[in-house]
Amino acid sequence: MTGSVRFVLGGRVVEVRDADPTTTVLNWLRANGRPGSKEGCAEGDCGACTVVLGDLAPDGRLLYRAVNACILFLPMIDGKLLLTVEDLAGEDGDLHPVQAAMVDKHASQCGFCTPGFVMALFALHHQGRATDGSGLTDGAIHDALAGNLCRCTGYRPILDAARTMMAERAEDRFDRAEEGIATVLRSIRRDGPLTMTHGAASFHAPRSVDELATLFAAHPNATLVAGATDVGLWVTKQGRSLPTLIHLAQVRELRRIDEGADALEVGAAATYTDLLPVLERRIPELAALVTRIGAAQVRNSGTLGGNVANGSPIGDSMPALLALGASLVLNRSGVRRELPLDRFYHGYRKNDLKPGEFVERIRIPLPREGQRFATWKVSKRRDQDISAVCAAFLVTLDGEGQVAALRAGYGGMAATPARAPALEAALVGQPWTADAVAAAMPALDRDFRPMTDMRASDRYRALVAKNLLMRFLLHTTGGELPSLEAVHG
């Protein structure tokens, strides 16, 4: 056993040496006298395990973000402040404003989910104070609570508590202690990489892309993990052993997001939360989709690079990236190559990565003047749900209103996210009209043979895929729907 994890909990620095690297934060808390955080789903869906991590932003401010403790590995919180529901009330027993609002509005019944709601609202409380009141709408409250499930109280009194809390926005003891907390966090900040071993298991957290490249070349069978929003389930649901973990979240270059005139360069370990404001400025259609990827807890940990490298057929970001013509910068022992995303996937969970090679960043071209882009996700629920079908389109029209180029990306339709080459070919050179789109729709049946599963039937997926194409036409032209016979025969 070597190395240790250091974090701040209960007002003091905690150092953990004797722990398996895949021990979840939730299991560690409950085994060490902090049972307030609950286990419901053990997969990051229900929010009963929600805790808050505090970390220093580049400008020195303290950022609080809600995360799912049930799928977060303990070494991943090294150098951070960990807050649980036990931390919120003062030593004199005074409730935190969030807790007081929940009590006043009778927002708890059985209480199992309540600690998670309280922690999600605590993060929103501090986010609201940091933004000087911007975004403190019902929509922001719903978004903050989309990852928390309540099956008995119902959401009305919980929303009432949230509205009361946000309206009053009272300063709390964490605001008053921010300078002291920041000082303690700086004192445990590492200058070099973290290596932690426990028996045959090891956890590595490099700090630079060169360190990562060297480490992964030496351990090409290691599991790369950024936010653990999927890898965490390999442990909690599948019971898998992950003998060597390499954590990407501390690699400086992989956290960068560079905005160019023609493209965005997104580091593979940049979280959705960090990426979202950039997308809202540069590709708002994609930003709207990202708000439906998981919930706040998932987006605070999950990364675009992880979604791409994972390669799930229902990964929501890839159809949009395929339509936009994104490419990947891959790194192997410091040697880089760039590969279009539409050449990256070879089959179900199979990709073009060589041993020791990793996704360093994603290059996303911005829609140019004269191009129209849109993307939509179809699922049974609006929030916290897996897609039945996700589709994205980018069309370029010539001066006469004909299709000069079309890129169509789909998820949920095949073993991998994929473009629709037959559809694209059928529409190039055609007028961008409802009749032309309806005539081209049968090409989608040549592009895809979707499967039937618990989320949707093959017939439903095939129909939705076509309907989303027609929706894109109407979105770009404001036209009227053709007759159903013209569309579906």
pLDDT in tens, 78-135: 999 999 999 999 988 899 999 999 999 999 999 999 999 999 999 999 986 545 444 4
Q: In what order do the strands lie in the sheet with 403-411?
A: 371-378, 389-397, 403-411, 418-419
CATH numbers and ranges of domains, the chain: 1-191 (3.10.20.30), 371-489 (3.30.390.50)
pLDDT tens, 194-213? 999 999 999 999 999 999 99
pLDDT tens, 133-146? 444 688 889 999 99
**Does the CA dihedral 461-467-472-473 come out positive or negative?**
positive
Task: Note the residue count of the chain.
Answer: 489
Phi/psi of residue 405, each to 5°?
A: -160, 150
Asked if residue 29 lies in contact with residue 84, where contact means CB atoms within 8 angstroms, the answer is yes
pLDDT tens, 453-475? 999 999 999 999 999 999 999 99
Q: How far is residue 39's CA from residue 47's CA, in Å, rounded to a whole number?
A: 9
Q: Among candidates 408, 412, 418, which has minimal Cα distance to 347?
A: 418
Q: Among candidates 265, 390, 261, 262, which has minimal Cα distance to 327?
A: 265
Q: How far is residue 7's CA from residue 22's CA, in Å, rounded to a whole number?
A: 17
Mean pLDDT of 230-253: 96
Q: Among candidates 103, 141, 104, which has minimal Cα distance to 123?
A: 141
Q: What percent of the chain has a predicted confidence (pLDDT) above 90?
A: 87
Q: How far is residue 368's CA from residue 396's CA, in Å, rounded to a whole number?
A: 9
Distances (CA, A) of 158 to 95, 109, 172, 241: 16, 11, 20, 39
**Residue 479: per-residue pLDDT:** 66
Asked if residue 434 lies in contact with residue 470, where contact means CB atoms within 8 angstroms, the answer is yes
Asked if residue 487 lies in contact with residue 466, where contact means CB atoms within 8 angstroms, the answer is yes
Q: How far is residue 40's CA from residue 53's CA, in Å, rounded to a whole number?
A: 20
Q: Among candidates 382, 365, 372, which has minimal Cα distance to 291?
A: 382
Structure-block tokens of residue 336: 């880089």
**Residue 489: per-residue pLDDT:** 46
* Average pLDDT for the chain: 94
Q: Which residues contact 431 (CB under 8 A, 6 or more apart)?
A: 401, 402, 403
Asked if residue 295 lies in contact with residue 146, where contact means CB atoms within 8 angstroms, the answer is yes
H or E element, residue 258: strand 257-259
Q: How confident is the model at residue 59 (pLDDT cuts 50, 70, 90)?
A: confident
